[in-house]
Amino acid sequence: MACNGNETEQCGGPDRLTVFNTTTPPGPVGPFVNPGVNGYHSLGCYNDSVAARTLTTDVQTTGGQNALTVALCTSACAAGNYLYAGLEYASECYCGNTISNYGASTPIGDCNMICNGNSSEYCGGPGRLNMYTTKSAPTAWTALGCYTDSVAARTLTTREYPGTMTVELCTSACKSAGYIYAGVEYGGECYCGNSFSNGGGPAPDGSAGCNMACAGNAQETCGGADRLNVFQFGGGSSTTTTPASSTTAPTSTSVGTGSATGLPNGWAYRGCYIDNANGRIMNTQEPDSNLNTIEVCVNTCVGLGYSVAGMEYGVQCFCDNFVRNGASLTADTDCNMCW
């Protein structure tokens, strides 16, 4: 479909994304921890055992164990109205409404088996679950995901000390202090701010680094080493201070037989991708815009700290750091090219 803001450019089609990414610096290489789909978000890696299950309901998924994906498991658990979904040993799916039998977070590297049905994502390991939940952020707050941080250059610059850490304690402390962003880190730290500083933004490895249980509630995740679980009061778009190097001189890039101008240096067309076959292949969707163009979408994603941009259905713009859920290329003409 033609971009609503420029009819000489293509902006995908129904369930088809025109995808661009940057090679400066290069994006991460999979497989990855899927950050979530079907209303579930990742809690990281949790321990499990045959004798004492962390999630007590074993469910069968479409296609059986040889076809297991994160999308299929979370879909099965959603059908049963479960709060938690967990994938184990590349082939097993479990659901539950509580984390049972002293289940707790373990290092994300323990969940190192690739899903039988999707080689781009992990499905737990021996005695380990890639854990997901639908439990939302505290009331009036929106979860923004896992963000980068460092001791020398904080992403959220004000630290609070509300007590034995939970997400609720941190967000409450930040709200009381007049901040719109709250971030929990390393199991017990709380940071606040009204903008993101020092180049901090969505983590390039998705939620993999946000894998530590909160000190005050083991059923919540409180970031990790140099990683923040970030929340925004009231939701809406984030404000990120972006390093100057990400907005270098515009270039022209080929798209089929046409070209897009005004893109940041290093960005290039990567093809037409099938979307929504097993869940969305890019997680962050910007508001629909009748002024959407390739340049507008790419520069929006750059400003938010992402390395991949996709346009769909003429008016839609998606951002991420990689494509997900077994995303596959299709013919350029499937994106309804208009050249």
The position carrying tokens 């997900």 is 324
Residue 2 pLDDT > 90, yes or no? no
Length of the chain: 339
Q: Which pair of tokens denotes residue 53?
A: 């299950």
| Sign of the torsion formed by the C-alpha atoms of 290, 294, 300 and 301 | positive
pLDDT recorded at residue 161 = 93
Alpha carbon distance 306, 21 (integer Å): 9
Confidence of residue 333 (pLDDT cuts 50, 70, 90): confident
Say what the pLDDT of residue 92 is. Answer: 98
Q: Which pTM value belongs to this model?
A: 0.48
pLDDT band at 244 (very low <50, low <70, confident <90, very high): very low
- Maximum Cα interatomic distance, the chain, rounded to a whole number of Å: 61
User: How would residue 325 be classed by pLDDT, with cut points 50, 70 and 90?
Assistant: low
Region 217-226: mean pLDDT is 86
Q: Is the pLDDT of residue 51 over 80?
A: yes
The percent of residues above 70 in pLDDT, for the chain, comes to: 86
**40-44, 126-130, 159-163, 244-248: least confidently modelled range:** 244-248
- Domains in the chain: boundaries: 2-28+244-335, 41-133, 141-233
Query: What one-character-per-residue DSSP string does 15-82 give?
Result: TEEEEEEE-SSPPP-S-B-----TT-EEEEEEE--SSS-SS-EEE--TT-GGG--HHHHHHHHHHTT-
* High-pLDDT (> 90) share of the chain, %: 37
Confidence class for position 268, pLDDT limits 50, 70, 90 = confident
What is the rounded CA–CA span in Å between residue 130 and residue 54? 11
Tens-place pLDDT, residues 163-191: 889 898 999 999 999 999 999 999 999 99
Amino acid letter for position 121: E
Phi, psi at residue 123, to the nearest 5°?
-130, 65
Q: Is the pLDDT of residue 76 over 50?
A: yes
- pLDDT value at 338 more than 50: no
Most confidently modeled of 37-41, 101-105, 176-180, 251-255? 176-180
